[in-house]
Amino acid sequence: MTEVDLKGVLAIERFSFPIPWNEEMFKSELYLDFAHNFTGKLNSNGNGDILVGYICSWLFHGEAHILNIAVHPDYRRMGLGTYLMRFFCDFCLTMKVKTITLDVRSSNHPAIKMYRKMGFRKLGLRPHYYANNGEDALIMGLKLNGR
Ligand SMILES: CC(C)(COP(=O)(O)OP(=O)(O)OC[C@H]1O[C@@H](n2cnc3c(N)ncnc32)[C@H](O)[C@@H]1OP(=O)(O)O)[C@@H](O)C(=O)NCCC(=O)NCCS
């Protein structure tokens, strides 16, 4: 992900989350040493790339934390979320990461289902974590050395 991608990223972000990140939040991620941010692009008809998803993460001390992942609403249920996650797991393996963690709203069944299918398991709970509705966050994790 670079600054050029931010228009497309922000459009997806605003469709995807009740408390979306703003441009400054994405920009600050782009310049952190320990942040790794990727976009997924399609070029199906030769008319240029369409930005269809992204993933933002932090890596430190053999651990990765996924801060954000989303797929454009028009391109969901086509395997792209799984593709982004698999790409990210492969990237983590090359970076010698042992564990990936993430937080997810307890009501976000599509995302929880995708993570479970990929082998993520519940590690804990952050009660009343989300400011807009007081919803709990599930903490989920995946050990990569067991894959
Ligand atoms: C979560 C998200 C990234 C999934 O992306 P996607 O490209 O639609 O995911 P995939 O097509 O790879 O789906 C993988 C599996 O997840 C589950 N899943 C995905 N969307 C689902 C839905 N709406 N309802 C039920 N299960 C769903 C299914 O098990 C699916 O496999 P299947 O299609 O073979 O049944 C996407 O829904 C999204 O961007 N949501 C908004 C942002 C968000 O919630 N991000 C996660 C923050 S923690």
User: Relative to the CA of 70, which ligand 1 atom is closest?
Assistant: 39
DSSP code, position 39: E
| For the chain, percent of residues with pLDDT exceeding 70 | 99
Read off the CATH number of the domain in which 52 is found: 3.40.630.30
**Model confidence at 52, in pLDDT bands (50, 70, 90)?**
very high
Q: Which residue has 């804990």 as its token pair?
A: 124
Residue 105, domain extent: 3-143
Pairing verdict, β 35-42 and 50-60: antiparallel
Would you call 42 helix, strand, or coil by DSSP?
strand
Number of domains within the chain: 1
Q: What is the distance between the alpha carbons of residues 32 and 3, in angstroms, rounded to a whole number?
A: 14
CA of 71 to the centre of ligand 1 (A): 8
Mapping DSSP to helix (H, G, I), strand (E, B) and coil, where does residue 38 land?
strand
Average pLDDT for the chain: 96
What is the token pair recorded at 56?
């933002």
